Structure formats: structure tokens, C-alpha cells
Amino acid sequence: MAFLLALGLVGCGIDIAPSSEVSSLRVFGVQKDRPYARPGEEVTLRMLWADGSKNVGRPIQRLWLAGCVNPPADLYAGCLASFGSLAADPTGAALPPGVAIGQDDTFTFKLPEDIVASHARSPDPSQPAFGTSFVFFAACAGTLGFSPTGRGGFPLECRGPDGSLLGADDFVAGFSQIFAYEELRNENPTVTGFELNGRAVTPDCIDAACLGLDTQAPDCDASPELCVAACEKDGDPKCTEIPFRAVVAPSSVEADGLAALRGRSLTEQIWANYYADRGSLTSAVKLVNDATTGFNDSNPTELLAPRVPGPLRLWAVVHDNRGGTAWARLTITVK
């Protein structure tokens, strides 16, 4: 199967937009201050988003929806039914008990005290008692509302100025899952900066500092390391590929506590998702740390600069496989 998977990776592919291309409204990540929390703790979530559409500066509504605890089979889909009454009430005035709503780029809510106790014991005896809660979010380049029809089972919808439903380019909805353990902990990975063309460069921002931050194109005379030459045409494979990677602190790689409880020596799996609002990247996702073989700190993606000079924003969102997230942004100038 792996062989076939490998073949699938290398051949007979398709030519559709890669995830690294930011040409529409995008949510890059949601960072929790406590990826693993304790029962009754407050958790704060931050949403990193960007609007890559040509309609620059259009307002983007954000919304958070929390309160789904221990759904059937621990699947997000099991939450959608519990939000049914929201869909029935387009105003959202009558929130079901335990449901919390938030707006803006950050949102804080409290986990129930009994989140672990109320969760069914796992059939895996090696798995410690845990509970889980889903937080849904949305970013809308129009007007957000509760869906009276609940299309697709999701209770929110986004409508444009003419009342039409907006699609995936203008409306992003999703979820983040918080695990609650009595003992286990997980911290977010740590991004310390970027490396561009083999040289360390200072990012525009890291983590919370990136929320709502304006773009400032660097001066090529003052910061030549942040300037790259334009390509003759967009996506030109003959154009020079510029290595680019987020620098992740090796110390932020944690042991997988769950695996340790099972007597195994594994670390977190960590990877980085890269995004560019112009030009293109040769790889959208890069491995940072493998659970068995360890840290992989020389694994850059490559940037193909666009044809048109001007500022170019690059994001790296680093994830671990236990809900930890960190990010950073870098703006460069294409000359």
C-alpha cells in the first residue's frame, strides 16, 4: 500500500491550486495556549488568517462557537447535531446551555470540570482518562449568520452583500479540538525565526504578534537579505528556487507523553505548513520532526518569486500532532 501511495504521490497528479497559494480568504491556524488542558481550565484560542483576494481591505467577520464536549466517537461531526437549535434560531439569541460564542481573533472559554469524568473510558487500557471539546470558528468576507437549513450539517453560513451564499474562497469554517487530561501536558512548538536563501532573517512577527499586523515591505538597501529578484514569468520552473524555512527550536520538541505511558520512546511529529500570497512554493508542507527518526532542521521549501515586483508575504505555521501550533510571518520585497 505504501508503494502504491508513493506512486500516487509521484505520478498521474492533477493541476489544481496548492494549499500554499494564498489567493482567497484563508485561515492558516488556530493556536491554543493550552493544547492539552486540565478540567475546568480556561483556554484561549487565536486565529491567524489572511485575505489574499483581490478585494483588498474588505471586512472579515470572525466567530467562535464553543460548548461541544465529548461528542459521539470524539468526532467533530457529532457536535453538529448539538448545534441544531442554533440553526433553528437565525438570531442565535437562544444559545443552548454550555455553548459560548466569541468574535474577533481571540476567544477564551472554560472547559467543564467534569470533562474527563463524563467521557467514556477508552477501550485502550493504556490510554489515560481524557475528555475532549471542540471549538468551531469561522471567517467570513460577508455577513455571518446561523444557517436556517444547516447545509452540510454546519450551523453557520456566510452571505455576500446581495444575500447570496459565499463559497470556500470567501468563507472559511473549521474546528479545533482541545484534549483535557489530568496529568498529560503539551506545549506549542517554538518558532524562532526564518531562514531565507540560507541566511537567518528576522520575521515580521511570531505567534500572537501576528494578529492584525500590517504589512511593511522591507527596504532592499537596508535589508538586502529580504529582497529577491523577480522571475520572468509566474511559476517559471527555470527561475531560481530560493530556499525558505521556519526555524523551530529543537528544544520545543517534546516527548510524546501518551507513548511514554505505553513504554515507547517517541517524540511529537512536527511539520510546517508554508503559505505565500504571491509567487509559489515548491512544497506546501515540510517535515520538521519525525516521531521516530528525530529532528529534521534542514528541510526547506523553495520559493519561486513572482513576475511582478512588490511586497510578498510568507507564513509558516508549525504544528505538532497533539494540537500544538505556532506561527511566524515574513515579508520580503520582490525587485
Number of chain positions touching other proteins (CB under 8 A) = 86
Phi-psi region of 80 (alpha: psi -120 to 50; beta: other; left: phi over 0): alpha
Q: How far is the CB of 284 from other proteins (least distance, A)?
A: 5
Name the one range near other proteins by CB under 8 A: 54-62, 86-94, 283-291, 307-315: 283-291
Task: Identify residue 36 by its one-letter amino acid code.
Answer: Y
> How far is Cα 5 from Cα 56, in angstroms, rounded to an integer?
40
Cβ proximity to other proteins: between 19 and 202 the closer is 19
Verify binding: residue 229, other proteins, rule CB under 8 A.
no
Verify binding: residue 22, other proteins, rule CB under 8 A.
no
Verify binding: residue 238, other proteins, rule CB under 8 A.
no
Q: How far is the CB of 28 from other proteins (least distance, A)?
A: 8
Nearest partner of 141 among 66, 214, 52, 31, judged by Cα:
52
For residue 287, what is its C-alpha cell? 517535515
Q: Map the footprint of other proteins across residues 48-107, applying CB under 8 A.
A: 70-78
Beta bridge partners of 242: 303
Cβ proximity to other proteins: between 228 and 317 the closer is 317
Site string for other proteins, 306-335 (x = CB under 8 A): -----------x-x-xxx-x----------
Nearest partner of 268 among 163, 167, 185, judged by Cα:
185
Verify binding: residue 280, other proteins, rule CB under 8 A.
no
* Residue among 34, 62, 278, 286 that touches other proteins (CB under 8 A): 286
Name the one range near other proteins by CB under 8 A: 98-106, 200-208, 214-222, 277-285: 277-285
Cβ proximity to other proteins: between 217 and 285 the closer is 285
Q: How far is the CB of 33 from other proteins (least distance, A)?
A: 14
Q: Map the footprint of other proteins across residues 147-176, applying CB under 8 A.
A: 147, 151-154, 157, 165, 167-169, 171-176
Tell me the H-state helices in 65-160: 77-80, 84-88
* Residue among 103, 126, 223, 265 that touches other proteins (CB under 8 A): 126
* Residue among 106, 190, 192, 283 that touches other proteins (CB under 8 A): 283
Nearest partner of 310 among 235, 197, 229, judged by Cα:
229
Nearest partner of 305 among 277, 329, 274, 272, judged by Cα:
277
> How far is Cα 31 from Cα 43, in angstroms, rounded to an integer?
10
Verify binding: residue 251, other proteins, rule CB under 8 A.
no
Q: How far is the CB of 171 from other proteins (least distance, A)?
A: 6
Assign 208 to helix, strand or coil: helix
Q: How far is the CB of 249 from other proteins (least distance, A)?
A: 19
Are 276 and 28 within 8 A, CB to CB? no
Are 243 and 197 within 8 A, CB to CB? yes
> How far is Cα 293 from Cα 4, in angstroms, rounded to an integer?
23
Cβ proximity to other proteins: between 206 and 317 the closer is 317
Expressed in percent and rounded to 5, the helix, strand and coil fractions of the chain are 15, 40, 45
Q: Map the footprint of other proteins across residues 179-218, applying CB under 8 A.
A: 179
